[in-house]
Structure 1
Amino acid sequence: MEFQLVPGCQKMKEVLPEYYGEGSTTFYDIGASQHNYNIYMNFSKLLGVRGVPLIGIFYNNTLYGVVEGEFPPEAAQEIVEKAIENNGVIILISSGTYLLPRNETKAIEAIENMTKWFLNGEVVGQ
């Protein structure tokens, strides 16, 4: 069975590489892979997200932001800068905006899990 991407996912899949360059993004389709769906459900349990796309913003292999839904690609740089300034990970989801500080035990565990989840998806049908 072939899945169609929802419009927001398709848009971000096209816009982010245009803005940041080919090879700057990795796309994991949750409709085409049970493994990816399970990873998404981990995020759902942790953060309460229900929307897509769910985007991890990394800089120098470090997670600095998590965004639920579409966003202007130029905002990623500001997210990284603010996260570095506040020593944390910025979470922008439908329920609000949050900062997970890198110096609190529960937040550190959440950041480590989210980093692992973002990096362990399966690329399907690219």
Structure 2
Amino acid sequence: MTNRSHYYLQIKDLKRARGAEPALSYDGAGPNDFAAALQEALRSPLLFQRWRAMQPDPDSVDERLGVTDQLAAVSAKVDDLHTDVEIVSGLPMSIIRQRLNWLIGAHWQLHDVRPA
């Protein structure tokens, strides 16, 4: 993962942002909790493994969907009435999208991607 990117996201209402599956969903209280949860989801295979175990045929799930980035860094802060999130990672957007959707569903919006 030599090509790292800087992703800029926005969450309109973090207090209500939850994923569809409670066993995978974010349940924290603020931007720092969310940043820690997302960073863990990008660095560790645990969230992927929980999701995989919930599938009808876990052994058929492509292992590449569980890729992680030990150097992923996430920060989040409240700005006016929304939360700004910054991610620096070598993971592709498809994997970051997957983890975000598990944690907070479709309650986020990508604003920009730049080389890190």
TM-score in terms of structure 2 length: 0.29
TM-score normalised by structure 1 residue count:
0.28
More helix by share: 1
Structure holding more strand per residue: 2
